[in-house]
Chain A
Amino acid sequence: MLALSGIRKTFHPGTVNEVRALRGVDLSIEPGSFVIVLGMNGSGKSTLLNAVAGSFFVDEGRIELAGHDVTKWPEHKRARLIGRVFQNPFSGTAPTMSIAENFALASRRGQSRGLGWALSPNLMQPLRERIAALKMGLEDRLDNAIGSLSGGQRQALTLLMATWLKPELLLLDEHTAALDPKSADQVIQLSDEVIQRDMLTTLMVTHSMQQAVSLGDRIIMMHRGQVLHDIRGAEKKRLRPEDLLDRFDEVRRRELLDESAAAMLNELYI
């Protein structure tokens, strides 16, 4: 479904601010796979998702999505195939527009705009049902501005919008990190339900070990712009949070092994 090969991205090349954010990422994701993306701050998780979504063009490599070579596609063209939810509940929706208007926008994702914000009547009924299923009492507030809702409510709605058209690929970037624990749980559960029901191919970035072990069928751990671990199948199933912590510990140890330690080990390790 998604195939990345040799992806590289350097920000501000040739300046003091140069950051080699992606340093050769190869990744192939099967249709319907739910992939958790882990990694320390700055390891390149968001950059990876942005590269797929087309927020910028990659310096090197090829991105294939649902049978298309999208490497050179602009972001808005890729948006027809991709649903996204970010960490910030205030992005991804138009705050002054009503819930219904936002959904009208979402239902025309990737198509030409300016056809008016009205939701066609045959969409209104399923929308109301899906929103009622959130059990957040929002089905009676479809005309309220999205900006007036709580963070949890907005993320739940953003998720519904992002998945409304059953995208070929769903990208979730720490989409519950800014929420209180209870709302975060609700939104995570909703995400899992939608992903399972529609068998959405998904990349989800999180810092929660618990989410990483209990959700999805595959974990990739990013480190310094590369995929350091790829855990899938039976190994993913039996994984415990402490195993993941061990792996993070390993990453940290790796970083701490500096030149002076290397010299010492060369002398003393046998």
Chain B
Amino acid sequence: MEISRQSSGDLIILRLAGRLDANWCNHVESALSATVRDGEHRLHLDMSAVSYISSAGIRVLLACHKQLRAINGLFGVIRPSEAVRSVLELSGLQMLIAAETAAESSAEDNGKKLASASAAYELFALGAGGMKIETVGDPATLARGCGGAQPTTRRFDAAKVALGVGALGGSFSENAARCGELLAVAGVAAFQPADGSSRPDFMLSEGALVPEGQLVLGLSAQGTFTSLLRFEANDEDRRIGITELMQTALESSGANAAVVVAVTETAGLVGASLRQSPASEASASNDRFGFPQIRDWLSFTSERSFRDSTSLMVGVIAKPGSAFDALLRPLARGTDLLGHLHAAVFPYRPLRKGRIDLQPAVTSLFDGQSLQSLLHLISDPRGFNGAGESEFYRGAVWIAPIIT
């Protein structure tokens, strides 16, 4: 099986030659998914030189068709050989066959282009608004525990954005030993229980059900997003670091502080997560983060992890001097940008281009129970010995300036 690639405008044409059978379908599948991973969502498959297609091959075509349709992309077989045409027609899949001249990608409303050396940005205004923010808990909790304080149970409804240390479920007495990294946005809440379970747990709003839980320490915001920033890295290695991305996001908002939520195709993440709940009673020692006992308290990725995943990031970024400085940390040395960002990690899936809505973009990530991990992002400034910072290929960032 030979595969060659050609582009025409924003359309990619892959030309296959040979037999598309069980033996070769994996090869073709990886070529298709590599193309989608590169951010190409409009694909034609020239099958004029394919002499045979089996059911294994058909499955590959269908999967790609389904994936691209879901993100408003385009997929079609052009110039099918007689063999391919008859198999597709007999199996009722003529819809996979496309006219050779593809319709131009529908003229969506275009955002304002922002210039940058390392990424292409497009900014969409969403209307007036912003978010009010509340700090929750005392940072000393991490080192010393809650000291008997009982966080109230809060509802993470669609207007709320929250991140910090907490747990989901009705009662704090039951959750105290479970509190870990938590994030909530668009009526979805997820947390990484720090009780030894390896998988994060989550709750979606459904009908009258709204996720509930307790935040022991963190930030909780409420309001509306005012802009959407789309980005696509375009430097040599086609990835952009979190510091630059957040800097651009904050600058684009014109504010000194902002709530950000991002859905990204991710090159790798660096971060930490709690291994034990700081709120549990059993943990009374007062130098939890000293060495080596920190190993019992925090798990650190130590290198860029979750390569080629899709992630949901929730955070607050600000210039120094905000009322919630105590809950922010520098994103990099030599910048005056502070942040507190959490990320939920999912297996890779492409993200639709252009102006997209937050709610469906977030909730669709949770389809299929594939949430892999949830961590507090850290930008490790230790040069060659450090893990570096989180990096992304492309994505969408919703921004809400913080209002008082």
Q: Which A residues are closer than 8 A to B by beta carbons?
A: 243, 246-247, 250, 253-254, 256-270
Do B198 and A270 touch across chains, with their CB atoms under 8 A apart? no
Other 11 A-B pairs with CB < 8 A, given A265-B294, A268-B378, A269-B289:
A253-B301, A256-B302, A257-B294, A259-B291, A264-B382, A265-B298, A267-B329, A268-B330, A269-B142, A269-B298, A270-B376
A253-B329 contact in complex given A262-B294, A268-B379, C-beta closer than 8 Å:
no
Do B300 and A253 touch across chains, with their CB atoms under 8 A apart? yes
CA–CA, A260 and B300, complex, Å? 12
Cβ 8 A contact of A260, one of B139, B298, B382: B382
Task: Check if B290 is an interface residue, CB within 8 A of chain A.
Answer: yes
Task: Check if B195 is an interface residue, CB within 8 A of chain A.
Answer: no
CA–CA, A259 and B289, complex, Å? 11
Do B302 and A257 touch across chains, with their CB atoms under 8 A apart? yes
Do A243 and B198 touch across chains, with their CB atoms under 8 A apart? yes
CB distance from B355 to the nearest CB of A (A): 33
Q: Which B residues are closer than 8 A to A by beta carbons?
A: 139, 142, 198, 272, 289-292, 294-295, 298-303, 327-330, 340, 376, 378-382, 385-386
Cβ 8 A contact of A257, one of B295, B330, B381, B382: B295
- What A residues does B327 contact at CB under 8 A? 270
Do A261 and B302 touch across chains, with their CB atoms under 8 A apart? yes
- What A residues does B376 contact at CB under 8 A? 269-270
CB distance from A163 to the nearest CB of B (A): 35
Which of B142, B300, B340, B386 is the most central at the interface, judged by chain A CB atoms within 10 Å of its CB?
A: B300
Number of A-B contacts (CB under 8 A): 67
Query: Which residue on chain A has the smallest CB distance to residue B299?
Result: A253
- What A residues does B386 contact at CB under 8 A? 264
CB distance from A246 to the nearest CB of B (A): 5
Cβ 8 A contact of B272, one of A256, A258, A263, A265: A265
A264-B380 contact in complex given A257-B300, A270-B340, C-beta closer than 8 Å:
yes
- What B residues does A256 contact at CB under 8 A? 300, 302-303
Cβ 8 A contact of A268, one of B198, B295, B329: B329
CA–CA, A258 and B379, complex, Å? 17
Query: Which residue on chain B has the smallest CB distance to residue A249?
Result: B305
- What A residues does B382 contact at CB under 8 A? 260-261, 264
CB distance from A128 to the nearest CB of B (A): 47
CA–CA, A253 and B300, complex, Å? 6
CB distance from A227 to the nearest CB of B (A): 14
- What A residues does B378 contact at CB under 8 A? 264-265, 268-269
CA–CA, A257 and B381, complex, Å? 15
Do A247 and B198 touch across chains, with their CB atoms under 8 A apart? yes
Of the A-B pairs whose beta carbons lie under 8 Å apart in the complex, a sample of 12, sorted by A's number, is A256-B302, A257-B294, A261-B302, A262-B289, A262-B290, A262-B291, A264-B378, A265-B298, A266-B294, A268-B378, A269-B272, A270-B142
- What B residues does A258 contact at CB under 8 A? 291
- What A residues does B300 contact at CB under 8 A? 253, 256-257, 261, 265
- What A residues does B379 contact at CB under 8 A? 268
- What B residues does A266 contact at CB under 8 A? 289, 294
- What A residues does B291 contact at CB under 8 A? 258-259, 262-263
CA–CA, A269 and B377, complex, Å? 9
CA–CA, A258 and B385, complex, Å? 11
Cβ 8 A contact of B139, one of A250, A253, A259, A270: A270
CA–CA, A244 and B262, complex, Å? 31
CB distance from B130 to the nearest CB of A (A): 24
CA–CA, A256 and B385, complex, Å? 11
Query: Which residue on chain A has the smallest CB distance to residue B290?
Result: A262
CA–CA, A261 and B301, complex, Å? 10
Query: Which residue on chain B has the smallest CB distance to residue A254?
Result: B295
CB distance from A264 to the nearest CB of B (A): 6
CA–CA, A256 and B301, complex, Å? 9
CB distance from B332 to the nearest CB of A (A): 11
CB distance from B317 to the nearest CB of A (A): 14
Do A260 and B302 touch across chains, with their CB atoms under 8 A apart? no
